[in-house]
Chains A and B, each alone.
Chain A
C-alpha cells in the first residue's frame, strides 16, 4: 500500500505539472463553466424536467377545475404531473413524503370543503380553507415547481373572483416553506453537474489511457517493474491519483459555480456522492479499457476520440434526451453517462430520471464490472 500511495502522490504531482493534463483536466472545465455561465446566466424555467403532484382532498367541482388548470399548464411542457397512487390511504402524507424525499419537486394540496366554502364565498364572505404548496429547502427545481403551482392557484382564484364579480378580493393561498430560501431556476445549476461529469469523463477516456500507454511506450513502466512494484500496485496508485484529481476538480467546479454564479448545488448529498463515485468508477474503467486495447499512444487517442463525442452526445450532458429520435434511445439507455447524468441531476433536485433508480445504478455498475474484468484480462503493462 505504501508503494501505491507513493505512486498515487507522484501521478497527482505530474498532473499538476504536465501542461496538457493541466489544461484539459483542470482548466478547461472551469473555463467552460465560466463561459456558459457568463453567456447564458440564468435561464427561463421550462426546460427542466419537473415533477409535481396535485392532491385533491375535496373532490368537488371547483377543486377539480383547479386540478384541470394545473394539468393544462403542465401540458405545455413546463412540468409533468405525477398521479397519486390509488391505494394511498392518506394522499396528503404521501405528497409530503414524496416531496421531502425528492421524488417529486412540489405538490399542491387542495383541502376538503374547498369547493363548498369557495362557492359560498361571494355570499358569506368567509375565506375558504387554504390551498397548500409543498416544496423542499434549498433546491432550485423544487422552488421553481412551487412557484409554478403558487401562480396557478392564484390565477385560479383571480379567475373565480372575476367570474363572481368580486375581483377585488382574493382566495387565500398559503405557500408552505419546508425550509431554505426561495430562488429562481439557474442555468449554471443545471449545467454544473454536466460539466462535472464531462471533467470526469475527459479524465477517464483521455488522461488515463494517455498516461498509461505513454508510460509503457516511453519505457517508464519497465523502470517500475524492475523493482518489487507489481502491475496491481501501479494501477491502484494510478486510480488513487485519479480519485484525488477528481475530488479537487469537482470541488473547484462547484466553488466556481457557487462564488461566481451563485449556483447552489448540494453535491454532498449522499445520493449525489454515490453517483459521483459511480461516475469516477465508470470513467476510470473506460480509461483502463482503452489502455487495454491500445498498443500505442496514437491508437489510444484515436479510440478515445471515437468514444468521446457519441458518448457525450448520447448521454444527455448537454441537452434533454427527450429530443433524441427512437433508435438512438437504445444507445442512450445503454450509455452509462445517461444514467449518471440523470441520476446526479435527480439527486441534486434538478430533474427526474427517465429510468427507475435501480436501472440508473445498475447500468453504471455493469460498466464498471465489465471494464474491470476485460481490463484485468487484457491490459498489458509489461512487454509480456
Chain B
C-alpha cells in the first residue's frame, strides 16, 4: 500500500479514511544534554491505518512516543494533531487520544473496575467499562485488586483504559510484550478492528511479525533518525535483496563455513543463517562442503527475507539488541 491510498479493509467498508491525516510530525527534535535522542524526524499517521515505528533500544523511539503522548516537550519541530498545529500535546488533544504506555502502572490497591471508573472521569465521553473488560478478557477480574493481576492481565487492563474514551488516535507502545501467543493474537484482532473503524494507530513493537501483520506503514528509526520507511512489503523488496538458508551444524564446524561464505553467515548456537544472492549456486556449494566434510545439515530450510532481515541490514542490530 502506498500512502494516500485506501487501505483494503477501509475500501471494503466503503469509507474514505486515508486522506484524513490525524497526526503529522515535521522535523521533530529532542536532546538530552549533548545526546540527540530525536534528530529531525518527520512522518504522518492517517485515519484507518496502523503506523509502526521500529527501532533498537536507544534509537529515540520511546522519546518520540512520549512527546506525542504529551509526556515530554520537544525542543523543536512541528506537530499537527487532528488538523491543528500544537506546541505541546494538551488536555484537548489527550481527550481524543488513547495511550497504552510501555512503562505505565495503575494504583495497586484499586480494583480493576475502580481503575476504569477513575479513568473514565478524566474524559468527556466514554465506552462502557463492562464491555471493554469483556473485550480484553478481564470480565472475571473486575473486582480483583490490580496488584493481584499477572503482567499480561495488567497489559490488557492498560489496553482497556487506552480504549476507554473511544479514541480517534491510539498509541500502542509495545502492546503485546509479556502476553502469551493467544493473548497476543487477540490484541492484534482488537487493533485491526480499531483500524476497520477508521481510527489511526501508532504502534511500536519489538515483534517483527506484529509489525508485518498489522502495520500499513513502517518507519525504521536509528540514532534519532528515520532511516527507512514504507509498507512492510516495500521495505522487504527494497532492502531484503538476499534469500536465506537456515540450518543447524555442530558449533566447531562454523569457522570453516564462514570462510567459505565470508560475511554472509551468522551463528546463534548451533543454528546458522546464511544470506545468499544466487540460491542454486550457493546451495550447491553448501551441500558439497557438507558432504565433503561429513557435516550433517539438520533442519535445513530456505526462506524469503522478512522485516527482521531488513532491520538487521539497515541498523546492523537485531530489534531486541
What 1/0 flags go to A209-229 for Cβ under 8 Å of B?
000000100111011111111
Give the size of the chain A interface in residues (CB under 8 angstroms).
26
Q: Are A226 and B118 closer than 8 Å at their CB atoms?
A: no
Q: Are B106 and A222 closer than 8 Å at their CB atoms?
A: no
The reply to whether the CB of B266 lies closer than 8 angstroms to some CB of chain A is no
Most A CB contacts (10 A, CB to CB) among B72, B91, B104 go to B104
Q: Which of B66, B92, B94, B101 contacts A223 (CB 8 A)?
A: B101
CA distance A383 to B103 in the complex (A): 12
B168 CB to nearest A CB, Å: 14
Q: Are A220 and B71 closer than 8 Å at their CB atoms?
A: no
Q: Which of A2, A10, A227, A384 contacts B114 (CB 8 A)?
A: A10
Q: Are B71 and A226 closer than 8 Å at their CB atoms?
A: yes
CA distance A226 to B123 in the complex (A): 12
What 1/0 flags go to B296-310 for Cβ under 8 Å of A?
000000000000000
Within 8 A of B (CB), among A91-112: none
CA distance A2 to B122 in the complex (A): 8
Given A3-B121, A219-B104: A384 and B110 interface contact (C-beta under 8 Å): no
Q: Are B109 and A222 closer than 8 Å at their CB atoms?
A: no
Given A10-B114, A383-B71, A384-B73: A223 and B122 interface contact (C-beta under 8 Å): no
Q: Which of A13, A18, A223, A382 contacts B105 (CB 8 A)?
A: A223
The reply to whether the CB of B107 lies closer than 8 angstroms to some CB of chain A is yes
CA distance A320 to B99 in the complex (A): 56
Residues of B within 8 A of A2 (CB): 121
What 1/0 flags go to B42-73 for Cβ under 8 Å of A?
00000000000000000000000010011111
Most B CB contacts (10 A, CB to CB) among A3, A223, A229, A384 go to A223
A361 CB to nearest B CB, Å: 37
Q: Are A220 and B105 closer than 8 Å at their CB atoms?
A: yes
The reply to whether the CB of B95 lies closer than 8 angstroms to some CB of chain A is yes
Q: Are A227 and B123 closer than 8 Å at their CB atoms?
A: yes
Residues of A within 8 A of B24 (CB): none
Within 8 A of A (CB), among B68-87: 69-73
Give the size of the chain B interface in residues (CB under 8 angstroms).
29
The reply to whether the CB of A32 lies closer than 8 angstroms to some CB of chain B is no
Q: Are A228 and B69 closer than 8 Å at their CB atoms?
A: no
Residues of B within 8 A of A6 (CB): 117-118, 121-122
User: Which secondary structure dominates chain A's binding surface?
Assistant: helix
Residues of B within 8 A of A17 (CB): 109, 145
Residues of A within 8 A of B103 (CB): 219, 222
The reply to whether the CB of A239 lies closer than 8 angstroms to some CB of chain B is no
Q: Are A222 and B101 closer than 8 Å at their CB atoms?
A: yes
Residues of B within 8 A of A224 (CB): 122
Q: Are A227 and B119 closer than 8 Å at their CB atoms?
A: yes
Q: Are A226 and B99 closer than 8 Å at their CB atoms?
A: yes
Given A6-B118, A219-B104, A227-B94: A13 and B71 interface contact (C-beta under 8 Å): no
CA distance A222 to B106 in the complex (A): 10
Residues of A within 8 A of B73 (CB): 384
Q: Which of B72, B94, B119, B123 contacts A383 (CB 8 A)?
A: B72
Q: For residue B103, which residue of chain A has the nearest CB?
A: A219
Q: Which of B71, B101, B106, B161 contacts A382 (CB 8 A)?
A: B71
Q: Are B72 and A384 closer than 8 Å at their CB atoms?
A: yes
The reply to whether the CB of A64 lies closer than 8 angstroms to some CB of chain B is no
Q: Are A13 and B109 closer than 8 Å at their CB atoms?
A: yes
B267 CB to nearest A CB, Å: 38
Residues of A within 8 A of B94 (CB): 226-228
Residues of B within 8 A of A18 (CB): 109
The reply to whether the CB of A14 lies closer than 8 angstroms to some CB of chain B is yes
CA distance A226 to B65 in the complex (A): 11
Within 8 A of B (CB), among A197-245: 215, 218-220, 222-230
CA distance A383 to B91 in the complex (A): 17
Residues of B within 8 A of A13 (CB): 109-110, 114
Within 8 A of A (CB), among B93-132: 94-95, 99, 101, 103-107, 109-110, 114, 117-119, 121-123
CA distance A17 to B107 in the complex (A): 11
CA distance A1 to B114 in the complex (A): 18
Q: Are B118 and A219 closer than 8 Å at their CB atoms?
A: no
Given A6-B121, A220-B106: A226 and B114 interface contact (C-beta under 8 Å): no
Residues of B within 8 A of A222 (CB): 71, 101, 103-104
Given A3-B121, A219-B105, A220-B106: A226 and B91 interface contact (C-beta under 8 Å): no
Identify the A interface with B (CB < 8 A). Answer: 2-3, 5-7, 10, 13-14, 17-18, 215, 218-220, 222-230, 382-384
* Extra inter-chain contacts (6) besides given A220-B106, A226-B104, CB under 8 Å: A13-B109, A14-B110, A220-B104, A220-B105, A228-B91, A383-B72
Q: List 22 A-B contacts (CB under 8 A).
A: A3-B121, A6-B118, A10-B107, A10-B110, A10-B118, A13-B109, A13-B110, A17-B145, A219-B103, A219-B105, A222-B101, A222-B104, A223-B161, A225-B71, A226-B69, A226-B71, A226-B101, A227-B99, A227-B119, A227-B122, A229-B91, A383-B71
